Amino acid sequence: MKIFRVGIVVGVGSIGIKHARFLEKISENLILIDKKFNTSVIAELGQQFELAHFYNHIGELREKFTDKDLAVIANWGPDHYETIEFLVSKGFRNFILEKPCVDSLNEVKKLWNLAYRTPLKIAVNQGWFYDKIGSTISLISQDLGLGKAASIFISGGARCISTAGSHWISLANQLFTSEPEVIFSDARNDLINPRSPSLSFYEGVFSFRYPENQRLAINLTNNSSIEGTIEIYWRNAVGFLNSNELSIYMRNDEFASNKITRYGKATQLVYSGPVFNLESSFANLYNSFHENNQIEFNMNFLKQLKVTSSIIYALISSESNRKMYFEEAVGNELFLKKYKIS
């Protein structure tokens, strides 16, 4: 079924191609825009997308668009805000935005104001959010009598806090039903971003403390290519999240219900299975445009902007060498600084 009149994708890299394939099925017309397009690239993509139109720049768009159209923003993170602002001036009201949403606190504020006042429907491609992974894990732990999740510990190689980190912070926000309260980090930027050496790629130690003293701790090193691990801790259990598969182990020894300091190993497997369907993530994202009203879009988008803000506050914390309180006021220089994350 064709849901949109025109679908456009700005930034046709690996993720942009995935969007284009999905959008082609649900749009009457498809426009692909990327500054790297040349004759050979267009010829190659033309075999995949026979009815698509190809442009090098959004400024080449001449027609007026409406709320029957949708734009996917999959270009570099530092360009997201100005891209959306221009497309709004051309009439677009529906957007899918790749993460991170933007790369500065200033643009977080500007983008929210633009989205709220226009108003816009912006769905951020944060799969774990639309797959409702947090509520699924919470229901599993409730059924097992584990209580509330206490902490999430993540470690790994060159993943970058700005891309994979948005998944992890979103998961923590869902499990802990809050945004982080206190953020502290020691980060280092290596210019190894595969999209461009002009973009940042942050490793380091990142700590997020939540209102009920739950914690998200992320440890990344750009000196390793290992994917790493995601561990979720409950009082007497630990879970290991690998892609969409979760395995939970409980303690079954006599000390498990006594003092918290009587530590022991969790050896009894009590759950093993998927917590979301890998094949339905894009469908869940796109389906939000006919399942959610404007109020729901605003609420969901604000949650995603707070994930982006958490990442930026972590980078500000490292640069300032102090812990930050979430959404605290910062000096104008740090408020405006673009961290070039993408």
Determine the pLDDT at residue 153.
98
pLDDT in tens, 140-153: 999 999 999 999 99
Give the domain ranges of the chain: 4-127+282-313, 129-279
Q: Would you say 13 and 194 are in contact if contact means Cβ atoms under 8 Å apart?
A: no
Beta bridge partners of 325: 182
Residues 6+ apart with CB under 8 A from 46: 52, 54
Report how far residue 155's alpha carbon sits from residue 311's, in angstroms, rounded to the nearest whole number. 16
Residues 6+ apart with CB under 8 A from 28: 2, 4, 5, 6
Determine the pLDDT at residue 258.
76
Residue showing tokens 């912070």: 169
CA angle 231, 313, 118 (to 5 degrees): 105
Determine the pLDDT at residue 1.
77
User: The pTM is what?
Assistant: 0.96
Determine the pLDDT at residue 263.
87
Determine the pLDDT at residue 32.
98
Report how far residue 7's alpha carbon sits from residue 29's, in angstroms, rounded to the nearest whole number. 6
Burial class (CB in 10 A: 0-12, 13-18, 19+), 140: middle
Residues of the chain with pLDDT under 50: none
CA angle 175, 164, 7 (to 5 degrees): 100
CATH class given for the domain over 129-279: alpha beta
Determine the pLDDT at residue 334.
98
Determine the pLDDT at residue 127.
76
Range 4-127+282-313: architecture per CATH: 3-Layer(aba) Sandwich (3.40)
Report how far residue 5's alpha carbon sits from residue 66's, in angstroms, rounded to the nearest whole number. 9
Determine the pLDDT at residue 259.
84
Q: Would you say 145 and 272 are in contact if contact means Cβ atoms under 8 Å apart?
A: no
Residues 6+ apart with CB under 8 A from 86: 58, 59
Report how far residue 75's alpha carbon sits from residue 196's, in angstroms, rounded to the nearest whole number. 11
